[in-house]
Amino acid sequence: MRYILPLVAFLILAVVLGLGLQRDPRALPSALLDRPAPMIELPLLNEAQRQFDSSKLQGQVWLLNVWASWCGPCREELPALKVLASRDQVPLYGLNYKDDTEEARLLLQQVGNPYLASAVDSKGRVGMDYGVQGVPETFVIDAGGRIRYRHVGPVTAEVWREKLLPLVRSLQ
């Protein structure tokens, strides 16, 4: 009996760890799925005197891409986002997260700006409201202002083609 209890505990632990290894690490659950997207009222990156107001996007399906100039994967995804969003005419907005404003502007000048507008979240408060755990993250928000999908990591052509674009099209 003394050897059976540790053996059973080991087997249970091995099964739990094995099941955990089968999960996709990018498929993080989000408490905000199918809930209203937090409101965004922040200054615009390229026009600080004007505000980005997400309430004005009611009635349309749009994407929110959380990014930063200090983020390597963000730098890599920006050119692809520029091509994909303009080609497929998907409204793409940015949330510049915990970043230096000048560095962010410079990066968009260098690699191209894929966003219709990008809000400045220098303190990360809006990112916290969205449950951002790291950058880049991309959210699909429906015409009713509800979050329908969250993608963690860079958006590639494959992610765009297989996940984001079909969902956006089905919601339009």
The amino acid present at 1, given as its one-letter code, is: M
pLDDT of residue 29: 58
Q: Which residues pair with 17 in a beta bridge?
A: none
Sheet-wide strand order for 62-67 = 117-121, 92-97, 62-67, 137-141, 147-152
Tell me, what's the pLDDT at 28? Answer: 54
Is residue 124 within 8 A of residue 58, CB to CB? The reply is no
What is the CATH T-level fold of the domain 27-171, as seen in this structure? Glutaredoxin (3.40.30)
pLDDT at 22: 66
Domain ranges of the chain: 27-171
d(CA 93, CA 37): 14
Q: For position 16, what pLDDT does the model report?
A: 79
Residue 27: the pLDDT is 54
Among candidates 122, 56, 76, 68, which has minimal Cα distance to 94? 68
Residues 6+ apart with CB under 8 A from 131: 30, 31, 32, 150
pLDDT of residue 111: 95
pLDDT at 30: 64
Paired with 44 in beta bridges are 119
User: What pLDDT shows up at residue 9?
Assistant: 77
- pLDDT tens digits, the chain, 172 residues: what are they? 677 877 777 778 878 777 766 655 555 556 789 999 999 999 999 999 999 999 999 999 999 999 999 999 999 999 999 999 999 999 999 999 999 999 999 999 999 999 999 999 999 999 999 999 999 999 999 999 999 999 999 999 999 999 999 999 999 9
Contact 168, 140 (CB under 8 A): yes
Q: What is the pTM of this model?
A: 0.84
Q: Can you give the pLDDT at residue 24?
A: 54
Pair 18, 122: CB distance under 8 Å: no
